[in-house]
Amino acid sequence: MKKSLLGLFFICSAFLNAQDTVKVATNMTPDQLAELDYNNGLAALKKNDPTTAVDMFTKALTAKPNFDKALANRAIAYTHLKKHAEAIKDINDAIKINPQNPDTYFNKGLIFFETNQKDSEQVALDYCLKLKPTHAEAAYYKGLAHYESNEPDKAITFYSQAITSNPQYVYAYNDRASVKRSKGDYAGAIADYEKALSIDGSLVFIHNNLGSAYRLNKNYTKAVEAYSAAYQKNPAYLTALINRGAANFESNNLKAAQTDFEDALKKDPDNSFCYNNLSSIALKNKDYKKAESMAKLAIDHDEKNGAAYYNRGIARQMLRDTDGSCADWKKALTLGVESAKAFINSSCE
C-alpha cells in the first residue's frame, strides 16, 4: 500500500494567517484528496473553527462535488458562522445526493429553527420523522417549536414522542415539565422534572426548575430544598440562590430571603436581581426609603430591570413622590411589566 502511495503526490498548502489562495496540484486520486480534506474539516469543526472547516469542506467538494457528507458538514460550519443561506443551499444539495438521510433533514430543520423560519422548520422535521419516526431529537424540536408557538398540548405530544423514542432523554422531560408548568399543571411538571433528575441528577438548571415548579405550587419548603440542591451542586449557580431567596420571600421568611440575596451579592456585587429583591423585602417591611435605594441600585446595574422600576415606583408612591412613582411605572411598562399599567391608570395623571 505504501508503495502505491509513493507514486502519489499530495500537496496541500495553507498559509499561516493566509491571505493568498494556493492552487494545489496533485496526482492523488480526487476522492482521496476529498476525504482527507473532509476529515481535516471535521477536525476543525470539532475544534470550533468553522472558518477552517468551511475551507476544508470546500476543498473536499472541489475534489469530489457529490460528497454529501462534506455538504452536510459544511452546512453546519456555515450555520456556526451564521451564513444560513449558504447552509441551506448545502443542505439541499446534500439532500439531492442522498434524500434518505434523516439527519440531513433534521439539520435542515434546526437551521430553519435557528433562523426562526418556523414553517420550513416544521416541514424539514416532519420529513425527518417520516424517514425515521423514532428520531428523538426531531420530535424534541417539534415539541419545542410548538411550545414557542404557544401550542402547549402539541408540544407535550411531541416531547412525549421524543421520550418514547429515547426514554433517557433528560431534556425532553425538562421541557415537557416546563410546558406543563406553563399550563398550571404544577404536579405534572414536578413529576417530569423529578424524572429528569432521576436520569441525570447533575443538571443544576433542572433542580432549579423543579424549585420554581414547587414555588408556583406554593410548596415553599420543597422549593427551597430543590433550589438548595442546585446551589450545593454548583455554588457558582447564583440563579438557584436568588430563586431560593424568592421562595423564602414568598413564604414570608424575609430574614432567610435577605440572607440569600445578600449572599448572592457577595459573589456577584453587580447582580441587579439581588438589589431589586432586597428592595422587595424593604417594601414588605414598609421601609420605603431603603426600598427606593435598593431599587435604584438594581437599576444602576441593569437599566432594563423593569421590576426594579416597578418596585421603586411603589416605594416612591409611599414616600409621596407621585411624579417619581408614575415615571417609574411608565418605564416599567415600557420594559414589559404589564402590571404597572393598572397603577398608572389608577394613580397617575
Partner 1 sequence: MKKLIYLLTFLALAFLLPAQTVEFEKDNFPGRKDELKAARKQLDIGIEFFMQGRREFDDFRRGFVSEFKYLPVSQYDYRKAGYKNFRDALSPLMEAQKFNPKNARLNYMLGFIWFISDPSNPETLKFFETVIKLDGEVEPDDYYWLAWAYHLNDKWDLAIQYYKVYLAHIQAKGKNPYEIDDVNKKIAECNVGKELSAKPERVFVDNLGSEVNTSWPDYGPSITADEETVIFTARRDNSTGGKRDDGDNGYYEDVYVSYKKNGKWQTSTQLSKNVNSDGHDAAAGLSPDGSKLYVYRHSGKDGGDLYESTLFGADWEAPVHMNKNINTRYHESSVSTSFDGKRLYFVSDKESGLGDRDIYYSDMDVKGEWGPAKNIGSMINTKYGEEAVFMHPDGVTMYFSSKGHNTMGGYDIFKTTLAPNGLWSKPVNLGYPINGPDDDVFFVVSGSGSRAYFASAKTGGFGDKDLYRITFLGPEKTPLLNSSDQLIAMRANPVSNLKVENEVEVKMAKVTILKGVVTDAKTNQPLESAIELVDNDKNVVIATFKSNSATGKYLVTLPSGKNYGLAVKRDGYLFHSENFNLPEGADYQEFTKDVALKKIEIGSIIVLKNIFFDFDKATIRPESANELERLIKLLNDNPTIKIELGSHTDSKGSDEYNMKLSDSRSNSVVSYLIGKGISASRLVAKGYGETKPIDTNDTDEGRQNNRRTEFKILEK
Write out the binding residues for partner 1, residues 119-138 only, by CB under 8 A: 137
Contact pick of 122, 161, 212, 258 for partner 1 (by CB under 8 A): 212
Please state the closest distance from residue 21 (CB atom) to partner 1, in A: 8
Which of 282, 336, 345 is CA-nearest to residue 306? 336
**81-100 mask for partner 1 (x: CB under 8 A)?**
--------------------
Neighbours of 18 (CB within 10 A): 11
**What's CA 305's distance to the chain center, in Å?**
20
Please state the closest distance from residue 337 (CB atom) to partner 1, in A: 7
How far is the C-alpha of 268 from the C-alpha of 301, rounded, in Å? 11
Instruction: Verify binding: residue 264, partner 1, rule CB under 8 A.
Output: no
Contact pick of 55, 56, 59, 79 for partner 1 (by CB under 8 A): 79
Contact pick of 220, 231, 288, 310 for partner 1 (by CB under 8 A): 310
**Residue in the structure block whose three cell numbers are 435542515:** 108
Instruction: Verify binding: residue 61, partner 1, rule CB under 8 A.
Output: no
Please state the closest distance from residue 242 (CB atom) to partner 1, in A: 6
Please state the closest distance from residue 255 (CB atom) to partner 1, in A: 16
Q: What is the Rg, in whole angstroms, of the alpha carbon atoms belonging to the chain?
A: 27
Contact pick of 122, 161, 165, 208 for partner 1 (by CB under 8 A): 208
Total count of residues recorded for the chain? 349
Instruction: Verify binding: residue 305, partner 1, rule CB under 8 A.
Output: yes
Contact pick of 122, 165, 174, 258 for partner 1 (by CB under 8 A): 174
Contact pick of 55, 243, 288, 299 for partner 1 (by CB under 8 A): 243
Which of 234, 238, 318 is CA-nearest to residue 270? 238
Name every residue whose Cβ is closer than 8 Å to that of residue 301 and which is 6 or more positions away in sequence. Answer: 270, 271, 272, 275
Contact pick of 122, 161, 165, 209 for partner 1 (by CB under 8 A): 209
Instruction: Verify binding: residue 156, partner 1, rule CB under 8 A.
Output: no
String of b and e for 136-160 (b: at least 16 CB within 10 Å)? bbbbbbbbbbbbeeeebebbbebbe
Contact pick of 49, 103, 126, 194 for partner 1 (by CB under 8 A): 103
Contact pick of 44, 54, 76, 163 for partner 1 (by CB under 8 A): 76
Name every residue whose Cβ is closer than 8 Å to that of residue 203 and which is 6 or more positions away in sequence. Answer: 170, 174, 196, 197
Name every residue whose Cβ is closer than 8 Å to that of residue 228 and which is 6 or more positions away in sequence. Answer: 240, 244
Contact pick of 11, 85, 187, 236 for partner 1 (by CB under 8 A): 11
Contact pick of 15, 100, 116, 150 for partner 1 (by CB under 8 A): 15
Name every residue whose Cβ is closer than 8 Å to that of residue 349 and which is 6 or more positions away in sequence. Answer: 326
Instruction: Verify binding: residue 300, partner 1, rule CB under 8 A.
Output: no
Please state the closest distance from residue 258 (CB atom) to partner 1, in A: 13
Instruction: Verify binding: residue 301, partner 1, rule CB under 8 A.
Output: no
SS (H, E, C) 61-108: HHHCCCCHHHHHHHHHHHHHCCCHHHHHHHHHHHHHHCCCCHHHHHHH
Instruction: Verify binding: residue 272, partner 1, rule CB under 8 A.
Output: yes
- Residue 165 or 277: the one with the smaller Cβ distance to partner 1 is 277
Instruction: Verify binding: residue 224, partner 1, rule CB under 8 A.
Output: no
Assigned C-alpha cell, 253: 421568611
Instruction: Verify binding: residue 19, partner 1, rule CB under 8 A.
Output: yes
